[in-house]
Amino acid sequence: MDKGYIHVYTGPGKGKTTSAIGLGIRAAGAGNKVHMIQFMKGRKYCELNILDDINNFTYSQHGRDEFVDKKNPEQIDIDLARKGFEHAKKLIRSKKYDMIILDEINVAVDFNLIKIDELLDLIQEKPVGLELIITGRYAKKDIIKNSDYVTEMLEIKHPYKKGVEARRGCEY
């Protein structure tokens, strides 16, 4: 059996969550069982409408569609991230999945909603055969050190800088 790898998509550029979803689609298309856990997200993103119809690609959201104050997060944001993390642990330990995506977990760690040591411990106990996908800006050095594939998305150009708003079906 393939040992399974740890992938990180980080950096300020576009394409971190979409890459993870693309990887999930690829894995699901190979008959693998995929689950995506979204941290700090609570909005019904358009892509989720499609995932709803793919049998072996499930997802769960553990966040609100609200701005989280990094210096002073609300208790509900901490609680939601913690629940997401416990869910991630449970699914990883279940050994029932071929790929698990921890979407935006790097940001949850950066915001100190989840402790870096907890995530490092969880990575260490990744079962053989599981692909673990970690996304979000601000990936910590120790996460990168303990991962196999690491891609940094650089933002070379973005129309936000010209004042364009986020658009449905494109940014979310």
Binding site for its own copies (CB under 8 A): 2, 5, 7-9, 11, 13-23, 25-32, 45-51, 53-54, 57, 98, 131, 144, 147-159, 164, 167-170, 172
For its own copies, give the closer residue by CB, 25 or 116: 25
164: CB partners within 8 A, 6+ apart:
none
- The smaller minimum CB distance to its own copies, of residues 17 and 106, is found at 17
Contact 81/118 with Cβ under 8 angstroms?
A: no
CB of 80 to its own copies, least distance (A): 23
Q: To the nearest whole angstrom, how small is the minimum distance from the Cβ of residue 6 to its own copies?
A: 10
Smallest separation, CB 146 to its own copies (Å): 10
| Cα–Cα distance for residue pair 115/19, rounded to 1 Å | 25
> 20 vs 113, which CB is nearer to its own copies?
20
User: Residue 134 forms beta bridges with which residues?
Assistant: 8, 102
Q: How far is the CB of 82 from its own copies (least distance, A)?
A: 27
Task: Give the nearest distance from C-beta 148 to its own copies in angstroms.
Answer: 5
Q: Which is nearer to its own copies, 92 or 133 (CB)?
A: 133
Q: Which residue, 83 or 95, has its beta carbon nearer to its own copies?
A: 95
- Estimate to the nearest angstrom the gap between the alpha carbon of 86 and the chain centroid: 14
CA dihedral sign of residues 73, 38, 22, 123: positive
